[in-house]
């Protein structure tokens, strides 16, 4: 069987400083960029996270976006597959046991080392990825220093950011290919293996609604199932998750 052609990263645009790589890539898509195009910045001045939050992106981190064209750009499993790929890449390069917190956080030693933001702009999905590779925590806003960590801090040495980039592109490419080929069960099983959410008591804020219980599983569509011994599971498709106690896995 011939080797599968690489999709992600064959076209890689590097910029020194930009407002947002997601915004840059959306503009490139409107001007004919191909699927798999990647925009990479040394620094973002207007990076954003979920729910309109600011995403601090100083030099020393990996700040990139990937242009994809799945059948359903709004499918949350696009983001779950990408998160699996990033976690596998970071583990391979650094040896650190990076975990996944539903829906899109990359965590290490109970702190946030990175995250993903997937924006659906049909027919495209723009997958933004941010990783604190060698970022000095002092460069972060005061309000997030206590919850952030870098790979370098975790392993006690500077990490080769170009090696991280190569690994992230390769592993996300492989995980997205599995998603596109319909191997959803495999992608979700890998996500579960890295999860720090499942099996833990959680509080989920979804709009005005607060849901508390045990994070039991994710379903076939990537939604989080939260329940307890006295109540059937509640299906959560979006929101902020707080793990109420314990460090979780891995």
pLDDT of res. 247: 42
Q: Which domains does the chain have, with CATH numbers?
A: 12-194 (3.30.930.10), 201-243 (2.30.30.100)
Beta bridge partners of 172: none
Q: Give the mean pLDDT per block of 10 residues along the chain (250 residues).
A: 75 94 94 96 73 67 97 96 98 96 94 94 96 87 83 95 97 97 97 96 89 95 91 89 64
Do the bridges between strand 38-44 and strand 62-68 make them parallel or antiparallel, or are there none, so unpaired? antiparallel
Sign of the alpha-carbon dihedral angle for 84, 54, 145, 201? negative
**Burial degree of 157 (CB within 10 A; 0-12, 13-18, 19+):** exposed
Decide: helix, strand or coil at residue 110: coil
Angle, nearest 10°, between helix axes 161-180 and 184-194?
A: 140
Predicted TM-score (pTM) of this structure? 0.91
Range 172-210 burial, b when 16+ CB lie within 10 A, else e: bbbbbbbbeeeebeebbebbbebbbbbbbebebebeeee
Instruction: Tell me how crowded residue 18 is: count the other CB atoms within 10 A of its CB.
Output: 22
Q: What is the pLDDT of residue 1?
A: 44
β-bridge partners, 97: none
Q: Classify the C-alpha dihedral 217-246-239-147 as positive or negative.
A: negative
Q: What is the pLDDT of residue 48?
A: 57
Contacts of 148 (CB under 8 A, 6+ apart): 111, 112, 113, 132, 137, 140
Burial of 139 (0-12, 13-18, 19+ CB in 10 A): middle
3-state secondary structure (DSSP) of residue 159: coil
């Amino acid at each position: 069987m011939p080797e599968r052609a690489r999709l992600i990263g064959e076209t890689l645009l590097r910029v020194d400083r930009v407002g947002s790589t997601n915004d840059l890539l959306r503009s490139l898509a409107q001007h004919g960029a191909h699927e798999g195009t990647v925009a990479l910045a040394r620094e973002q001045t207007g990076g954003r996270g979920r729910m309109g939050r600011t995403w601090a992106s100083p030099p020393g981190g990996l700040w990139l976006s990937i242009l994809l064209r799945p059948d359903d750009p709004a499918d949350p499993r696009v983001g779950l597959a990408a998160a699996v790929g990033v976690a596998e890449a970071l583990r391979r390069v650094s040896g650190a046991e990076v975990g996944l917190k539903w829906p899109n956080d990359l965590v290490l030693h109970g702190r946030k080392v990175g995250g993903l933001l997937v924006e659906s702009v049909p027919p495209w999905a723009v997958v933004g990825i941010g990783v604190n590779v060698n970022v000095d925590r002092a460069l972060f806003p005061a309000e997030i220093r206590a919850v952030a960590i870098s790979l370098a801090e975790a392993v006690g040495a500077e990490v080769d950011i170009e090696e991280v980039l190569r690994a992230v592109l390769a592993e996300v490419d492989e995980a997205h290919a599995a998603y596109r080929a319909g191997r959803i069960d495999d992608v979700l099983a890998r996500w579960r293996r890295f999860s720090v959410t499942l099996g833990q008591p959680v509080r989920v804020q979804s709009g005005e609604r607060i849901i508390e219980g045990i994070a039991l599983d994710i379903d076939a569509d990537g939604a989080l199932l939260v329940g307890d011994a006295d109540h059937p599971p509640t299906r959560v498709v979006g929101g902020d998750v707080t793990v109420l106690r314990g460090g979780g896995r891995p």
